[in-house]
Amino acid sequence: MFNSLSDRLTATFKNLRGKGRLSEADVDATVREIRRALLDADVAVPVVRAFTAKVRERALGSEVNDALNPAQQIVKIVNEELVAILGGETRRINLAKNPPTVIMLAGLQGAGKTTLAGKLSKWLKGQGHSPLLVAADLQRPNAVKQLQVNGERAGVPVFAPHPGVSSEFESATGDPVAVAMAGLAEAKSKLHDVVIVDTAGRLGIDAELMKQAADIRAAINPDEVLFVIDAMIGQDAVNTAQAFNEGVNFTGVVLTKLDGDARGGAALSVASVTGKPVMFASTGEGLDDFELFHPDRMASRILDMGDVLTLIEQAEKNWDKGEAERMAQKFADQEDFTLDDFLSQMQQIRKMGSMKKMLMMMPGAAGMRQQLENFDEREIDRVEAIVRSMTQHERVAPKIINGSRRARIAKGSGVHVSEVNGLLERFGQAQKMMKKMAQGGGIPGMPGVAGPGGFNSARKGKQGAKKKARSGNPAKAAAELKAAQEKASAPKALPTGAAFGAGAQDFDPSSLNLPKGFEKFLGK
């Protein structure tokens, strides 16, 4: 969404690098480029004027003049001012002291209210709540049916006593105010702690829309009124937001379609003009493409500084803890990293969502945007197909995969042999990196970052031990594995002195390799 703005701002800051001191002319040129970038991104003119004025005032003050690195200080100022116009702090839902918490959705038709209702309900369910969706949009064709489908996909019940209209030629007959009130009563009787009321929208702002929305608001007295706005609406976002603020006095904003390719100035304008915070953002078509809006993280994304915190949260939410513990233990024991492990890690990453979106959250991702745009999300599916076309022994000992085996694997997975070769090459590199980290040698290419073994002196004895390579013969390898397992499970021979409940006559001091003459002390 903010690709163009991000590129323009990043290019502007590059011109400041290497300057020990910024003159007034440097600051004016920088502010001028920032102003152009914001206007090109469809940010409202009043917001641009206020933003650039604050940046210029701070940039010409002692805050920058006394800085060791003026260029970085300018970036810091722009970042802080971006956070301010985006709302300043993360705003969460104000839950009612006496449930249920009532949330009303309002906005223009086509902004994505009904889809957002499903996303919000699923997100709240994941937070431990028990939401109920209320279908109070009785005028848009099939709006009630769409909400029922979204509720079913989210695993959330939908209260829909009226079917609404099924075509644009059918006149609306139901009373949305009565439906909203009945939905609230239903939530109380079924002990739902959150009620989400989906209301009707229009193709433009009109008196009838505002009156209906105001009547529903007065009838159910919601704890939150969320204004849903299309982030691609452009300069008209400010007028629309102001009209809805006057009509229904919304408490927060939800931005939809942030995954689009428009310039996205609405996100930078609405919060500043209305004084109401952006609370949530919809970033895709799926029900999981929904997130809490963090102004500081969004500002970091715009300035190409990444959003590592969101990545960590996604990993914590989607990563299988049992699998993570298993891999950590295997890593600590310096066991071989196999293709099964490789496949498991790829599947865990896929659970986190789109690979493109995750990579774009990394710092400096703007520099490789073209490569990321060309990335094929189906690559993980092809990797899984290739690995699953291998035998169990081939996954454990990939060195045995010769030419004929590679041809068989390629045929079984529906890919070219070159793709099998490429996967095995990448896996070999990953295996070497994992082995080096396990031995405490650090991450290749990152000096000073030690692997787990480097922090555990108790494993130093194991680090030098070289493991015996497995045989390429499947039968012989199976026999070796069985012998190793029997050896590991065999009871260890312990000295059977009095401390172990046995007689001292069974104890041989020489087995302890004690100093000469020490046997006499033990009575032997």
Report the pLDDT value the prediction gives residue 165, as an integer from 0 to 100: 80
Better-scored residue on pLDDT, 164 or 513: 164
User: For residue range 87-101, what is the model confidence (pLDDT) as tens digits?
Assistant: 888 889 999 988 899
CA distance linking residue 411 with residue 390, whole number of Å: 11
108 carries a ligand binding annotation: yes
* Residue 119 in marked binding region: no
Which of 13-17, 138-142, 360-364 has the highest mean predicted lDDT (pLDDT)?
138-142
Say whether pLDDT at 343 is over 60. yes
Residue indicated by tokens 């810091």? 76
Phi-psi sector, 129: left (phi>0), alpha (psi -120 to 50), beta:
beta
Q: How many residues does the chain have?
A: 524
* pTM over cut 0.75: no
Helices (H) and strands (E) in the chain, counts: 23, 8
Pairing of strands 194-198, 101-107: parallel
3-state DSSP call for residue 138?
coil
Whether 490 shows a pLDDT value over 60: the answer reads no
- Say how many C-beta atoms besides its own lie within 10 A of residue 504's C-beta: 12
* Neighbour tally for 309: CB within 10 Å: 13
| Residue 201 counted as an annotated binding residue | yes
Angle, alpha carbons 141-142-147 (nearest 5°): 135
Fold of the domain spanning 2-86: Four Helix Bundle (Hemerythrin (Met), subunit A) (1.20.120)
- 133 annotated to a ligand binding site: no
Q: CATH classification of 320-356+377-438 is 1.10.3720.10, yes or no?
A: no
Q: Is residue 463 predicted with pLDDT exceeding 60? A: no
pLDDT over 90, % of the chain: 20
Residue 338 annotated as binding site: no
Compute how many other C-beta atoms are within 10 angstroms of the C-beta atom of residue 151: 24
267 band by pLDDT with thresholds 50, 70 and 90:
low
DSSP annotation string for 240-276: HHHHHHHHH--SEEEEE-TTSSS--HHHHHHHHHH--
> Is residue 258 a known part of a binding site?
yes
Angle separating helix axes 207-220 and 236-248, nearest 10 degrees: 40
pLDDT at 158 over 60: yes
Q: What is the residue type of 179?
A: V
Please tell me the predicted confidence (pLDDT) of residue 179: 93
Residue 153 pLDDT level (bands cut at 50, 70, 90) = very high
> Annotated binding residue at 200?
yes
Tell me, what's the pLDDT at 489? Answer: 53
Rounded Cα distance, 266 and 44, in Å: 8
| Rounded-to-integer distance, Cα 270 and Cα 268, Å | 6
Tell me, what's the pLDDT at 70? 74
Tell me what pLDDT residue 104 has: 95
**Does 261 belong to an annotated binding site?**
no
Most confidently modeled range among 214-223, 290-299, 356-365 = 214-223
More confident residue, 96 or 327: 96
Question: In 3D, which of 134, 121, 233 has the Cα closest to residue 181?
Answer: 134
Question: What number is the average pLDDT over the span 313-334?
Answer: 66
Between CA 186 and CA 102 the distance in angstroms is 12
* 199 known ligand binder: yes
Q: Which two tokens stand for residue 213?
A: 């929305």
Q: Give the tens place of pLDDT for each residue, 377-413.
A: 677 788 889 999 999 889 888 889 999 999 999 999 9
- DSSP lists the bridge partners of residue 228 as 107, 254
Task: Please count the other Cβ atoms lying within 10 Å of the Cβ belonging to residue 484.
Answer: 11
The verdict on whether residue 265 carries a ligand-binding annotation is no
Sequence ranges of the domains in the chain: 2-86, 101-293, 320-356+377-438
Does residue 202 have a known ligand-binding role?
A: yes
**Gap between the Cα atoms of 5 and 1, Å rounded:** 9
* Distance set, CA 194 to CA 138, 188, 383 (Å): 21, 10, 42
User: Average pLDDT, whole number, for the chain?
Assistant: 76
Q: Is 107 annotated as contributing to ligand binding? A: yes
What was the pLDDT predicted at 369? 60
Select the more confidently predicted residue: 495 or 99: 99
195 vs 299, more confident: 195
**Is pLDDT above 60 for 262?**
no
286 in Cβ contact with 259 (< 8 Å): no
pLDDT tens digits, one per residue of 38-70: 888 778 888 888 889 988 888 887 666 665 577
Look at the domain 101-293 and name its fold: Rossmann fold (3.40.50)
Residue 137 has pLDDT above 60, yes or no: yes
At 110 the pLDDT is: 79
pLDDT category, 275, cuts 50, 70, 90?
Answer: confident
Task: Determine if residue 198 is labeled as part of a ligand binding site.
Answer: yes
